[in-house]
Amino acid sequence: MSDGDVDISARPDLRERRRRETRAEISAVALDLVEARGYAATTVEDIARAAGVSPRTFFRYFPSKEAAVLAPDEEAEAALAEALSRPRPGCSLLERVEAAFGELVARLAEVPPEEVLPRVLRVRRLVLADPALTAAALGLQSQQADRVAELVAVVAGTTPQDLRTRLVAEVAGTAVRLTCDEWARRAEAGERPDLVALHERTRAVLRDVVAPASGDGATRDATTSV
């Protein structure tokens, strides 16, 4: 390629980087406003105005006000779908879904804590303190659970409404949510928790609850603190 040529292949990367930057800017403004005014008193129009974008542009990046504040990982669903698509011979459906979630947790753990922890703790404090945001977070969590059930149904060859499919999705998803909450709780207390190790422990505790260990105590030993 000569000096005068333009590398067209680089353009999508630049657009994607700018899109992510704009999304992060809108989310940061949303979090600041909700901290200052409260969730119920903050509107999409307020967020858009403070971020210097139109409401229409806001909705290109977030489907709702709560999504802008909570800012769920937009790549998580695709990453989970890819992990679920990999064959895991000899694994039950629950084990397969847990393993896929384990890959997702490992991906999250690759991000340096100092890059995500301040925002995670701010959001956590708001959710715990503001009933309106708590309700919004639960609603968003329910939507995410429905999408996970759809992904699991593809793997299981069932429908998202199938009881076993829904139960597997809920159990595996709950383990991840509890892991992330425990990680944030410990981090706020000044610890440096290992996200992957916490998820493994949560899964071990789950197995102990669902299928109590027999006399050898092997499963129970796996639930020791990390």
- Phi first, then psi: give them for residue 32, nearest 5 degrees: -60, -45
Q: Domains plus CATH for the chain?
A: 1-64 (1.10.10.60), 72-221 (1.10.357.10)
Q: What is the predicted pLDDT for the residue at 12?
A: 59
pTM of the model: 0.79
Burial class (CB in 10 A: 0-12, 13-18, 19+), 198: buried
pLDDT value at residue 217: 47
Residues 36-74 pLDDT 10s? 999 999 999 999 999 999 999 999 999 999 999 999 888
Residue 189's pLDDT is what?
A: 93
* Averaged pLDDT, 210-225: 51
Is the predicted pLDDT of residue 173 greater than 80, yes or no?
yes
pLDDT at 209: 85
Q: Check if the beta carbon of residue 136 is closer than 8 Å to that of residue 39.
A: yes
**Average pLDDT over the chain, rounded to whole?**
88
